[in-house]
A and B are shown apart, each in its own frame.
Chain A
Amino acid sequence: DGGITQSPKYLFRKEGQNVTLSCEQNLNHDAMYWYRQDPGQGLRLIYYSQIVNDFQKGDIAEGYSVSREKKESFPLTVTSAQKNPTAFYLCASSDRGQGVSQPQHFGDGTRLSIL
């Protein structure tokens, strides 16, 4: 089945550690996105990528980094510079049929907690 796979589902981090969240899609979508969701809030955009080897900062990129070496993969690294990393992280992808953005489809998310 086509879809977006995020791993792991739960992740614990010690202070000062970098962690990497995985996002893989087999939908052949060009665009991929990372969001952060905090309790009682909507989704906030961290980074996005419209094409392989290119990505742009979203609204809250500080303390995060990404890479897009393959079309199907868009890993997110939460660095020690991110002061409040505890959150629910969602990855999404979308097609650009006929040059027009299509609805984004989401993975099941990774819940990151600080030990």
Chain B
Amino acid sequence: EDKVVQSPLSLVVHEGDTVTLNCSYEVTNFRSLLWYKQEKKAPTFLFMLTSSGIEKKSGRLSSILDKKELFSILNITATQTGDSAVYLCAGLNQGGKLIFGQGTELSVKP
């Protein structure tokens, strides 16, 4: 059975800290690993990782995929209160189906 597991489930940090969110996956016919940020409503797309070992960056956020270990991390440096959200990791299979993890709830305190 396909599954995606995120850790930790929740995290509280202070502004300026660096955080690392973890995602392990077991997805049949795996194609890509996606990260989303969810603030109360619609998840917004952050990254799609298809190749192993290539870091993707967007401002203070970065992510990398390890297809040998079936693992991905999302890093956020110099955190801000606006980074507070639930971060969702999902495995995408060749048929276009997304399998989501439980999410990591990040709270950034001033």
Name A's B-contacting residues (CB within 8 A): 4, 31, 33, 35, 40-45, 48, 50, 58, 90, 94, 96, 100-101, 103-109
B75 → chain A, closest Cβ, in Å? 20
Whether B60 is near chain A, meaning CB under 8 Å from some CB there, is no
Task: Tell me the nearest residue of chain A to B47, going by C-beta.
Answer: A103
Contact indicator per residue, chain B 64-108, by CB within 8 Å of chain A (1) or not (0): 000000000000000000000000101010111110111100000
Interface residues on B, range: 20 to 34
Whether B4 is near chain A, meaning CB under 8 Å from some CB there, is yes
Query: By the criterion CB–CB under 8 Å, are B4 and A101 in contact?
Result: no
Q: How far is the CA of A106 from the CA of B100 in the complex (A)?
A: 14
Q: How far is the CA of A104 from the CA of B48 in the complex (A)?
A: 10
Greatest chain A CB density within 10 A among B36, B43, B92, B95 is at B43
Whether B12 is near chain A, meaning CB under 8 Å from some CB there, is no
A29 → chain B, closest Cβ, in Å? 11
